[in-house]
Structure 1
Amino acid sequence: MKAKTKYLISIIGPTAIGKTSLSIKLAEHFNTEIISADSRQFFKEMQIGTAAPTIKELAAANHHFIHHKSIHDEYNVGSYERDAIDKLDSLFNMHNVVIMVGGSGLYVDAVIKGLDDFPDVSPNIREHLTKQLKNEGLESLQKQLKDLDQTSYNTIAIDNPHRIIRALEICVGTGKPYSSFLNQPKKQRNFETITIGLFAERELIYDRINKRVDIMVNEGLLDEVKSLIPHKNLNALNTVGYKEIFKYFDGEWSLDFAISEIKKNTRRFAKRQLTWFKKSEGAHWFDYLAETKQIIETIKEKLKDDKSK
Structure 2
Amino acid sequence: MEKCLIAIVGPTAIGKTALSIKLANYFRTEIVSADSRQFFKEMQIGTAAPTPTELAAATHHFIHHKSIEDQYNVGAFEKDALEVLEQLFNIHDVVIMVGGSGLYVDAVIYGLDRFPEVDSNIRLSLNKQLETEGLETLQKKLKALDPESYKNIAIDNPQRVIRALEICMGSGKPYSSFLNKEKVQRPFKTITIGLTAEREVIYNRINQRVDLMVQHGLIDEVKTLQDKQHLNALNTVGYKEVFKYLEGDWSLDFALSEIKKNSRRFAKRQLTWFRKKEDTMWFDFETPLDIIIDYINSTLKNKSN
State the TM bucket, normalised to the shorter chain.
Answer: over 0.9
Matched, 1:28 2:20: no
For residue 10 of structure 2, what is the aligned residue in structure 1?
Answer: 13
Deviations 1:232-251 (A, max 9, x none): 10000000000000010111
- Partners of 2:291 and 2:145 in 1: CA distance: 44
Matched, 1:162 2:162: no
- Partners of 2:257 and 2:153 in 1: CA distance: 22
1:269-288 alignment, distance < 5 Å: 269-288=266-285
Q: Residue 43 of structure 2 is aligned with which of 46, 59, 62? A: 46
1:221 CA drift (Å): 0.1
For residue 78 of structure 1, what is the aligned residue in structure 2?
Answer: 75
Letter of the structure 2 residue corresponding to residue 73 of structure 1 = D
- Partners of 1:88 and 1:115 in 2: CA distance: 17
1:102 CA drift (Å): 0.2
1:166 CA drift (Å): 0.3
Deviations 1:52-88 (A, max 9, x none): 0000000000000000000001100000000000000
Letter of the structure 2 residue corresponding to residue 87 of structure 1 = V
Letter of the structure 2 residue corresponding to residue 113 of structure 1 = Y
For residue 237 of structure 2, what is the aligned residue in structure 1?
Answer: 240
For residue 253 of structure 1, what is the aligned residue in structure 2?
Answer: 250
For residue 143 of structure 2, what is the aligned residue in structure 1?
Answer: 146
- Partners of 1:155 and 1:234 in 2: CA distance: 24
Letter of the structure 2 residue corresponding to residue 183 of structure 1 = N
TM-score normalised per structure 1: 0.98
CA RMSD of aligned residues (A): 0.6
Secondary structure of the equivalent of 1:42? coil
Deviations 1:115-148 (A, max 9, x none): 0000011111101111110110000011111111
Letter of the structure 2 residue corresponding to residue 271 of structure 1 = K
- Partners of 2:169 and 2:6 in 1: CA distance: 37
- Partners of 2:207 and 2:266 in 1: CA distance: 13
Letter of the structure 1 residue corresponding to residue 95 of structure 2 = V
Deviations 1:134-175 (A, max 9, x none): 110000011111111111111211111111100000011111
For residue 189 of structure 2, what is the aligned residue in structure 1?
Answer: 192
For residue 96 of structure 1, what is the aligned residue in structure 2?
Answer: 93
- Partners of 1:93 and 1:285 in 2: CA distance: 29
Letter of the structure 1 residue corresponding to residue 74 of structure 2 = V
- Partners of 1:20 and 1:297 in 2: CA distance: 19
For residue 124 of structure 1, what is the aligned residue in structure 2?
Answer: 121
Q: Which moved more, 1:99-108 or 1:123-132?
A: 123-132
Secondary structure of the equivalent of 2:112? coil
Secondary structure of the equivalent of 2:81? helix
Structure 1 moving runs of 4+ over 4 Å: none
Deviations 1:14-70 (A, max 9, x none): 000000000000000000000000000000000000000000000000000000000
For residue 292 of structure 1, what is the aligned residue in structure 2?
Answer: 289
Letter of the structure 1 residue corresponding to residue 183 of structure 2 = K
Deviations 1:194-251 (A, max 9, x none): 0000110111101110110000011100000000001110000000000000010111
For residue 230 of structure 1, what is the aligned residue in structure 2?
Answer: 227
Secondary structure of the equivalent of 2:192? strand
- Partners of 2:255 and 2:166 in 1: CA distance: 31
Secondary structure of the equivalent of 1:26? helix
* Gap regions ≥5 residues in structure 1: none
* Gap regions ≥5 residues in structure 2: none
Secondary structure of the equivalent of 2:283? strand
Letter of the structure 1 residue corresponding to residue 200 of structure 2 = E
Letter of the structure 2 residue corresponding to residue 60 of structure 1 = A
TM-score normalised per structure 2: 0.99
1:281 CA drift (Å): 2.5
Identity %, equivalent residues: 70
Letter of the structure 2 residue corresponding to residue 177 of structure 1 = P
